[in-house]
Amino acid sequence: MSKIFEKEIQEFVQLVDSRNPNEPEFLQAVTEVAETIIPFIAEHEKYQSASILERLCEPERVVMFRVPWVDDNGNFKVNRGYRVQMNSSLGPYKGGLRFHPSVNLSILKFLAFEQVFKNSLTTLPLGGGKGGANFDPKGKSDAEIMRFCQSFMIELSKYIGGNKDVPAGDIGVGAREVGYLFGQYKRINDEFTGVITGKGLDYGGSRIRTEATGYGTVYFSEEMLELNGDGLKDKICVVSGSGNVAQYTTEKLIERGAKVVTLSDSSGYIYDKDGIDTEKLAYVKHLKNEKRARISEYIEKYKSATFRKGRPWSVPCDLAYPCATQNEIDKEDAEFLVKNNCKGIFEGANMPTTIEALSIIQDNKLLFAPGKASNAGGVATSGLEMSQNSQRLSWTSDEVDYRLKMIMKNIHENCVKYGRVDENYVDYVKGANVAGFVKVADAMLAQGHV
Ligand code: NDP
């Protein structure tokens, strides 16, 4: 934390805390931004006098609703659904839906807050939002998932629209769920619009959207390494998660000649000393996307691997890609990474690093890519899906991939512009926060006291 502005930062965080009690994840995301934005604002009077940061921390709207559904045995069930519409100064609200038992207002507000900065960084006309439900898709039948999605959309459909709010997937919401949600929206409104992204290719989806977050994270890490005269070839990589982001991060790393040695889920991680190659990754995709099984089944097929409880950060590596969930790298994990001489950490997940871990990583001058920059490829490609839907066109994989690469390159350049500390060090946290902030803040100023 900036020593000069320590008092201002603490006062601001206390103010946000008093307005949002019992929301630790939201407060964490705000603290991380305040630490870099408050010193910046101090040099830019126009943002300070207009209370831009205070306004940014207040969602424009939050909706919470009941989601009743019936399971396969005829039991009545009820969950809670949410949509946090955080900021629309750059465009319609945009951000994923998360279905996970841990979902609550604090988690969705932190995600929506981060999304505002991330969407700004993409340079596309997208506001920020996030939503979801405390529903656990694990162990549910396809019919149960469909009934839940339909009930969820009956209520959510009142608040979204192509020019208003365009959700997408996130944890627990993949191609299957997006299909059911889109189908129900279409029935309710009797219109075929691009109201949700991540759709199937046959009905308005974009090529490379499925791959985009993982690929984009690797493109971003490549830019960072390149700036340091390094590359991905032969690097030992530790990846966490085994869902969408982890799978496509791994795929691109393999393509670039790196060696990925771990993947995980909430039950533990597999360590494959020989590396996860294309064939093994195809098996992981089968296990996770079709069989919906646990990652531990991997070791039954591949004898080079072992399964361990906990998280993979104690495994020696050159580079780490957290791609599972928030706060999955804590202080102790960061100490392992430093001790093992890890060179860089690139966030595929949203806020996977705790504030304490981040300060260890930064004190030791490891390369560090914050998720709001490095995982922005997913939402950027969602933005490209919206453009294709408006034009009634479908671009080729090469075209979308090229645009994705250019967007990640551009985000990287912007982070360097605002985050360069000296000749040898770029603070990407500061760079991403300031670059994201400036665009949103200027749009808010231009639009009056909104
Ligand atoms: P998926 O649901 O496809 O996969 C999530 C993975 O993380 C699973 O392996 C899951 O394991 C694991 N996981 C979830 N919660 C926990 C937990 N509490 N502890 C340990 N492991 C956990 O989600 P995505 O891959 O889409 O999302 C992963 C991260 O990336 C999230 O932070 C998300 O917000 C972020 N993100 C996703 C984008 C996208 O386009 N999908 C875009 C930008 C960011 P299990 O199956 O056991 O739950």
449 vs 29: CA distance, rounded Å: 24
Portion of the chain with pLDDT greater than 70, in percent: 100
Question: Which uninterrupted H or E stretch holds 357?
Answer: helix 355-363
Which amino acid would we find at residue 354? T
Could you give the strand order of the β-sheet that contains 367-369, starting from the edge strand earlier in sequence?
A: 305-308, 268-272, 259-265, 236-239, 319-321, 344-346, 367-369
Domain boundary among 335, 365, 395: 365
Question: Ligand 1 atom 20: the closest Cα is on which residue?
Answer: 266
Instruction: Choose, from 118, 130, 140, 259, the residue flagged as catalytic.
Output: 130
Do residues 267 and 143 share a domain?
no
- Is 13 within a domain? no
In this structure, the answer to whether residues 248 and 121 fall within a common structural domain is no
Question: pLDDT confidence of 449, banded at 50, 70, 90?
Answer: confident
Among the residue ranges 44-48, 325-329, 360-364, the one predicted with the least confidence is 44-48
- Catalytic residue flag (residue 140): no
The verdict on 302 and 223 lying in the same domain is yes
What are 184-232's pLDDT values in tens digits? 999 999 999 899 999 999 999 999 999 999 999 999 999 999 999 999 9
Task: Report the distance separating Cα 90 and Cα 128, nearest Å.
Answer: 9
- Which residue's alpha carbon is at the smallest distance from atom 11 of ligand 1? 265
| CA 271 to ligand 1 center in whole angstroms | 19
Q: Is residue 115 scored above 70 in pLDDT?
A: yes
Alpha carbons 102 and 239: distance in angstroms, whole number: 22
State the Cα–Cα distance between residues 230 and 218, nearest whole angstrom: 14
Q: Render pLDDT for 362-402 as a digit per residue (tens, 0 to 9).
A: 999 999 999 999 999 999 999 999 999 999 999 999 999 99
Adjacent-strand bridge partners of 104: none
Give the residue-averaged pLDDT of 16-32: 98
How many angstroms does the Cα of residue 171 sit away from the middle of ligand 1? 5
Decide if 348 contacts 322 (C-beta within 8 A): yes
Does residue 247 lie in a domain region?
yes
Query: What's the CA dihedral at 359, 362, 366, 369 to 10 degrees?
Result: 90
Query: What CATH number is given to the structural domain containing 238?
Result: 3.40.50.720
Give the Cβ contact number of residue 4 at 10 Å: 11
Burial class (CB in 10 A: 0-12, 13-18, 19+), 55: middle
187 and 275 co-located in one domain: no
Relative to the CA of 348, which ligand 1 atom is closest?
A: 30
Q: Are strands 319-321 and 128-133 parallel, antiparallel or unpaired?
A: unpaired
Q: Whose CA is nearest to atom 15 of ligand 1?
A: 325
Q: How far is the CA of 325 from the centre of ligand 1 (A)?
A: 5
The percent of residues above 90 in pLDDT, for the chain, comes to: 98
Rounded CA separation 313/339 (Å): 11
What's the mean pLDDT in 420-427? 95
Instruction: Indicate whether 180 and 270 sit together in one domain.
Output: no
Are 237 and 143 contained in the same domain? no
What mean pLDDT is reported for the chain? 97
CB-based burial, 63-78: b 16+ in 10 Å, e otherwise: eebebebeeeeeeeee
Pocket (CB within 6 angstroms of ligand 1): 169-172, 174, 213, 241-246, 265-267, 323-325, 348-350, 375, 378
pLDDT, average across residues 39-54 = 94
Q: Are residues 226 and 188 in the same domain?
A: no
User: Helices marked H in 199-314 — which ranges?
Assistant: 209-227, 244-255, 278-285, 298-301
Report the pLDDT averaged over residues 296-322.
Answer: 98
Nearest protein Cα to ligand 1, atom 43: 375
Same domain, 340 and 251: yes
**pLDDT higher than threshold 70 for residue 85:** yes
Classified as helix, coil or strand, 258 is: coil
Against a cut of 0.85, is the pTM above it?
yes
pLDDT at 167 (0 to 100): 98
Give residue 3's pLDDT: 78
Write the DSSP symbol of residue 63.
E
346 CA distance to ligand 1 middle (Å): 15
- How do strand 425-426 and strand 305-308 relate by DSSP bridges? unpaired
70 lies in the same domain as 126: yes
Burial readout 370-396 (b: 16 or more C-beta within 10 A, e: otherwise): bbbbbbbbbbbbbbbbbbbbeeeeebe
In a domain, 374, yes or no: no
The CATH number of the domain holding residue 186 is 3.40.50.10860
Q: Please report, for residues 116, 141, 289, the alpha-carbon distance to residue 436 in angstroms, rounded to integers and kept in the order given.
A: 8, 40, 33
How many domains does the structure of the chain reveal? 2
- Considering 310, 336, 365, which residue would you say is the last residue of a domain? 365
pLDDT at 186: 97
Has residue 204 been placed in a domain?
no
Q: Which amino acid would we find at residue 317?
A: C
* Position 422 in a domain: no
How far apart CA 60 and CA 76 sit, in angstroms, is: 33
**DSSP character at residue 220:** H
Domain holding 164, by residue range, is: 61-192
Half-sphere exposure of 109 (CA within 13 A, CB side): 25
Same domain, 285 and 345: yes
Residues 185 and 228 in one domain: no
In a domain, 399, yes or no: no
Q: Are 230 and 254 in contact (CB under 8 A)?
A: no
Q: Tell me which residue has its CA closest to atom 22 in ligand 1.
A: 266
- CA 325 to ligand 1: nearest atom: 32
Compute, in angstroms, the gap from residue 321 CA to the centroid of ligand 1: 12
Looking at the DSSP bridge assignments, the partners of residue 353 are: 329
Cross-strand bridge partners of residue 99: 133
Please report whether residue 314 resides in a domain.
Answer: yes
**pLDDT at position 1:** 66
| Torsion angles phi and psi, residue 36, rounded to 5 | -105, -25
pLDDT in tens, 158-175: 999 999 999 999 999 999
1 is a domain residue: no
C-beta separation of 316 from 343 below 8 A: no
| Buried-exposed string 406-441: b where 16+ CB fall within 10 A, e elsewhere | ebbeebbebbbebbeeeeeebbbbbbbbbbbbbbbb
70: its two tokens: 């019936």
Q: Which of 365, 388, 410 is the last residue of a domain?
A: 365
Same domain, 216 and 120: no
